[in-house]
Structure 1
């Protein structure tokens, strides 16, 4: 699977130039790209032993600076603004196959660099922590773009191709340089006894698995986890047709471990809301904040705040200046946690006029905190007691742990901790259409709304849509497409529901804040888990 990823994070860096030259009219000559195993350069390497984290540098010599190539791509662009109109485009090939492509953004490289540099060193894999765009690009290729899987044990040819890229239309120019190196990739040894499949802990919820799975593929997955190819994974469970087919633990986790699933806990708030509506404690998801709070008592009052509905909170479509995807946003969750009242933090936020004009999805944790507060105010004995009586107890989930807001309300921002099979029960509840052992816990209509796409996601956001605190996604295995709805939490925590295949898959992980946290789960799903357990589906 080849991944294209524009470099969307501006990087401030300095880059040591080995040579500079004036811009020339023609840049048609192919430059030279060589690989090295040390920062100082030395003799170019044609073949290297490579372990994850080993030093790997590339030296790029160009016939002319990148600005000259951009001038050819955009001949009508004023010379003084060429450095803003494009940058380098890199293609990573492994054994001849394109694995990853990236176009650098305008922040990668100063104007002087773009107008003068013709000979420079690029750190790729390095233990020195250089603040260079090339090192961050390598990390995206290696950990998010499939490089770690492509460079498996054995010998592989890594090829890097460099072209100019124009932002206006995404056009790439002629090849500027290409270089290759043979990497003898080495992975840590694994005790073969660790690869045997563990006996699942069958209980009254999930019986023995009689459906065949590809045990070799599962063992290969376990090898990759023990080798650290897939990092910080703590648990995997697969339930199909109510049968527990797979239950595996890693990195010190066990059946009793309560996993901090971060934002997976948000979806439990959605479940509690559906139950509260069915019980008549809340009028419905069209209930507005103006019907719950006296919004004039909060900062930045605007009439539009009165009309924000619970549906808006459920679908992350809130017209406030709140975005967890933008660290500069006033409503970013990182600014909420140090405050002493998270609900006030959210309701104090200014209205975003652009979202009023054109409503859109924008991930907003503080909005789900407000959702939890609305439930807490509306149900008997508060949210925590209500969820225990109406959700956890009926599902037979006894081991779980809430985190709390400063007001000691169960925290719906995330952090709810459950063991692996407790998460599986929650997923199975949605697969069952909201029923458990023949009794309705969540109305089937609410389950349908939750799993269905309610809003589209922005083009630069992975996924296929967003429901009521559920993500929509499609996985491809060969020619087969597997649609799923899932809860997702920082670090790579997932509760997948595959209605068409009658399957629930749980992945827990501790890759909190790591760039590979979510992408590696997509990789293990498409390359290992789904092919192993969906045989015949």
Structure 2
């Protein structure tokens, strides 16, 4: 009997130790090491699709998951691996390739699976955007711990991955849970004495485990040297610019690409970036959204840009139609002049309107359409991502296939663009307000398409009329520092170079993502950057005006 009491006492002490951890004692910076730099570069293989017994396998250095799924009709391929992980695609005409999207978190990763044998297709999915981590260090910041309450934010030593958006923080007994809303990765941390055993999952399937210890030194993230083997083109000499980038006088410049008459005359990458890494273009992809509206119009899917947005909105939003809002048409959305209280925050440092609210609401479209009107449509322009979001809702309502596939079929595949990622909205459709990931070379292709009046390799992808209308200056953006002129989701800017005014039409994204289209010089410039918090988001304009344009004109 005495032994039984001793056992109960020991068990009680053990249970108290396991279940009574206060998250305050774990509130600290933690760090560990990812064992393999290719851990998040995943091979995806589909077998048996033609024979009728399809199986999907996802693996890194070991098999992560293997699952059978039902064959879809026609050439379509669809399967769900878990609650937040799915695939949708189709066969090429020759049946030698599967082209589609992996949906994980809020991202649609475009992948191509090539035929490797009779009934087997294989491709690569880089869930962190890079094919190999330059640093295997992993960090976890556990914050605001008290009892069972906490927040936890993971950081990778390779900052070319743009970071996580973590949420759903929970603690059960001796284990913490949280998830990344962006990539869809799930995290599970076992709380141990002086360490945390962290497991990272793809849905419910484990990818890797990392043992974390409390950090004793400052974290070291990024600061990678330029890859000497990275192929660069330097017909154009920009030595001074490169020295300033190297000395951090032009901080966080990731890439510079210059095309003249369709030919690359300068291309360089900095800080470990390469030509194969899709960059977070932020609002640059608003201009891509404009192209998709134009393509839909060219195909006769809607009549003209003067149509009311209510012609496209689902029934549940028709309740917001009134005399003034019924005048919100496609053109007003393209020119940021819907009149809705939808002012953006961050790109030019302006104040928040409903822009700060709709992305935190369960129904983005409802929040936008219920916002008050500030102006009559097509009279005053205020930059805001709510406007192109409504364009995405409109175009999705008139295409016969998933919107992402419509975008790929009618734009990206025709430009030879396959290594890209689309951010989705709150219901999983492509978000026309921004957030697409493209390589700088592919950004250059898109700029060149518009410089060539919508033609690419002999094919008219976007009509010449649409490009011309897109590049017009309709009105100035009242809530921007420079009061820039604005077209169909394209910015206007004039540069003074050697007493000459050079006009540029630009796709812009916060942090310093730019595509400059300069028709008079037949030049396209692409610059990507990482200046999200230091106020230098317009640094590419300085680079173009002081280094690139003077070199081109000379």
TM-score, normalised relative to structure 1? 0.58
Q: Distance in 2 between matches of 1:246 and 1:303?
A: 52
When residues 220 and 273 of structure 1 are mapped into structure 2, their CA distance, relative to the original with a 3 A threshold, is same
1:411 alignment partner, one of 423, 431, 443 = 431
Residue 513 (structure 1) shift:
3.8
- The 3-state SS of whatever aligns with 2:362 is coil
1:228 aligns with 2:248: yes
Contact 1:264 1:494 in 2 (8 A): yes
Q: Distance in 2 between matches of 1:297 and 1:502?
A: 44
Give the unaligned 5+ runs of structure 2: 1-224
Residue 220 (structure 1) shift:
1.1
> Which residue of structure 1 lines up, in the alignment, with residue 477 of structure 2?
457
Q: Distance in 2 between matches of 1:285 and 1:357?
A: 13
1:429 aligns with 2:454: no
Residue 283 (structure 1) shift:
1.5
When residues 197 and 286 of structure 1 are mapped into structure 2, their CA distance, relative to the original with a 3 A threshold, is farther
1:307 aligns with 2:339: no
Q: Distance in 2 between matches of 1:229 and 1:370?
A: 39
Residue 380 (structure 1) shift:
1.9
Q: Deviations over 1:291-350 (max 9, x none)?
A: 223678467653211110010000000111121148764412x32222222222211212
When residues 194 and 260 of structure 1 are mapped into structure 2, their CA distance, relative to the original with a 3 A threshold, is closer
> Which residue of structure 2 lines up, in the alignment, with residue 268 of structure 1?
288
1:336 aligns with 2:363: no
1:380 aligns with 2:400: yes
2:232 alignment partner, one of 174, 177, 200 = 200
Q: Deviations over 1:457-500 (max 9, x none)?
A: 33963254100000011111121211010100000110010111
- The 3-state SS of whatever aligns with 2:511 is coil
When residues 382 and 305 of structure 1 are mapped into structure 2, their CA distance, relative to the original with a 3 A threshold, is farther
TM-score, normalised relative to structure 2? 0.56
Higher share in strand: 2
- The 3-state SS of whatever aligns with 2:282 is coil
Q: How does 1:225-264 map to 2 (within 5 A)?
A: 225-264=245-284
When residues 329 and 293 of structure 1 are mapped into structure 2, their CA distance, relative to the original with a 3 A threshold, is same
Contact 2:423 2:431 in 1 (8 A): yes
Q: Distance in 2 between matches of 1:268 and 1:235?
A: 20
Contact 2:383 2:479 in 1 (8 A): no
Q: Deviations over 1:59-94 (max 9, x none)?
A: xxxxxxxxxxxxxxxxxxxxxxxxxxxxxxxxxxxx
> Which residue of structure 1 lines up, in the alignment, with residue 421 of structure 2?
401
- The 3-state SS of whatever aligns with 2:514 is strand
> Which residue of structure 2 lines up, in the alignment, with residue 277 of structure 1?
297
Contact 1:295 1:347 in 2 (8 A): no
When residues 328 and 437 of structure 1 are mapped into structure 2, their CA distance, relative to the original with a 3 A threshold, is closer
1:521 alignment partner, one of 532, 537, 540 = 540
When residues 299 and 279 of structure 1 are mapped into structure 2, their CA distance, relative to the original with a 3 A threshold, is closer
Contact 1:463 1:474 in 2 (8 A): no
Q: Distance in 1 between matches of 2:535 and 2:503?
A: 24
Q: Distance in 1 between matches of 2:437 and 2:314?
A: 33
When residues 381 and 455 of structure 1 are mapped into structure 2, their CA distance, relative to the original with a 3 A threshold, is same
Contact 2:286 2:433 in 1 (8 A): yes
When residues 195 and 262 of structure 1 are mapped into structure 2, their CA distance, relative to the original with a 3 A threshold, is closer
- The 3-state SS of whatever aligns with 1:235 is strand
1:287 alignment partner, one of 300, 303, 307 = 307
Q: Which moved more, 1:463-472 or 1:268-277?
A: 463-472
When residues 329 and 195 of structure 1 are mapped into structure 2, their CA distance, relative to the original with a 3 A threshold, is closer
Q: How does 1:65-214 map to 2 (within 5 A)?
A: 199-200=231-232, 213=236
Q: Distance in 1 between matches of 2:227 and 2:434?
A: 33
When residues 505 and 351 of structure 1 are mapped into structure 2, their CA distance, relative to the original with a 3 A threshold, is same
Contact 2:498 2:550 in 1 (8 A): no
- The 3-state SS of whatever aligns with 1:446 is helix
When residues 350 and 294 of structure 1 are mapped into structure 2, their CA distance, relative to the original with a 3 A threshold, is farther
Q: Distance in 2 between matches of 1:390 and 1:473?
A: 29
Q: Distance in 1 between matches of 2:314 and 2:479?
A: 36
Q: Deviations over 1:343-400 (max 9, x none)?
A: 2221121222xx1299211011111111011111111213211110000000000111
> Which residue of structure 1 lines up, in the alignment, with residue 90 of structure 2?
none
> Which residue of structure 2 lines up, in the alignment, with residue 142 of structure 1?
none
When residues 303 and 413 of structure 1 are mapped into structure 2, their CA distance, relative to the original with a 3 A threshold, is same
Contact 1:295 1:306 in 2 (8 A): no
When residues 242 and 460 of structure 1 are mapped into structure 2, their CA distance, relative to the original with a 3 A threshold, is closer
The alignment of Structure 1 onto Structure 2 pairs a total of residues equal to 327
Q: Distance in 1 between matches of 2:317 and 2:479?
A: 37
Q: Deviations over 1:129-186 (max 9, x none)?
A: xxxxxxxxxxxxxxxxxxxxxxxxxxxxxxxxxxxxxxxxxxxxxxxxxxxxxxxxxx
When residues 456 and 197 of structure 1 are mapped into structure 2, their CA distance, relative to the original with a 3 A threshold, is farther
- The 3-state SS of whatever aligns with 1:284 is coil
1:468 aligns with 2:468: no
Q: Distance in 2 between matches of 1:327 and 1:464?
A: 14
